[in-house]
Amino acid sequence: MSSLDMEDVKRRMEGAVSNLSAEFSGLRAGRASVAMLDSVSVDAYGSKMPLNQLSNISVPEARLLSVSVWDASVVGSVEKAIRESDLGLNPQVEGAIIRVPVPELSEDRRKDMVKVAGKYSESARISVRNVRRDAIETIRKDEKAGLISEDERHTYEADIQKVTDEFVANIDTMLEKKEIDITNI
């Protein structure tokens, strides 16, 4: 009996896909969305903190985000983090509220966003392949230890590859949808 847990392998691969989904939600397609700022980390209180732990983010209009910072002493840090993010946003401070207009995406900016989406999806593919590699190493150790036969190892490896292919195909589909979302005006 192998020590490999296929459910654990699938759960870890699913983690890579859900992480990709979260990263994609931060890539804007032209409309304002609270999720756009999920990837923004702010230097506050001596560490990097997610923006949503320092403020309330809302969408008062289709092309405007409103960031209501809870502690006035970190407003400058929040503004800097938003400005320096790779989202191409230009925040405007009004007291403890930061207004973030979401400009229409230019053709160049759309191309840049598609490239970023591609990088995110490649990272997810690499994560899935790393899980596959770990699982195959476990199977090979089990074979060396005499827990499974060579035929069983081949069967397990085929199962692992099948699951890997499914997750990579899912990632590719997600990327196609995001590219369409970004490039459609």
Could you tell me if 162 and 177 lie in one domain?
yes
Could you tell me if 94 and 116 lie in one domain?
no
* pLDDT tens profile 45-99: 888 888 888 888 888 887 888 999 888 888 888 888 888 887 778 888 888 889 9
Structural domain count of the chain: 2
> pLDDT band for position 30 (50/70/90)?
low
Pairing of β 47-50 and β 55-61: unpaired
- 88 alpha-carbon distance from chain centroid: 18
More confident residue, 31 or 77: 77
Q: 26 in helix, strand or coil?
A: helix
| pLDDT attached to residue 28 | 63
pLDDT for 9 beyond 80: yes
Could you tell me if 11 and 75 lie in one domain?
no
Q: Cα separations (Å) of 126 from 13, 65, 93, 96, 167?
A: 10, 33, 39, 41, 11
| 70, 86, 101 - which closes a domain | 101
| pLDDT attached to residue 46 | 86
pLDDT for 185 beyond 70: no
Mean pLDDT across the stretch 8-37? 83
pTM: predicted TM-score of the whole model, two decimal places: 0.68
69 assigned to some structural domain? yes
168 assigned to some structural domain? yes
* pLDDT tens profile 125-164: 999 999 999 999 999 999 999 999 999 999 999 999 999 9
Q: Is residue 140 within 8 Å of residue 119, measured between CB atoms?
A: no
Q: Which CATH number characterizes residue 142's domain? A: 1.10.132.20
Q: Which range marks the domain in which residue 37 is found?
A: 31-101
pLDDT for 12 beyond 90: yes
Find all residues with CB under 8 Å of 125, minimum gap 6, and list them: 168, 171
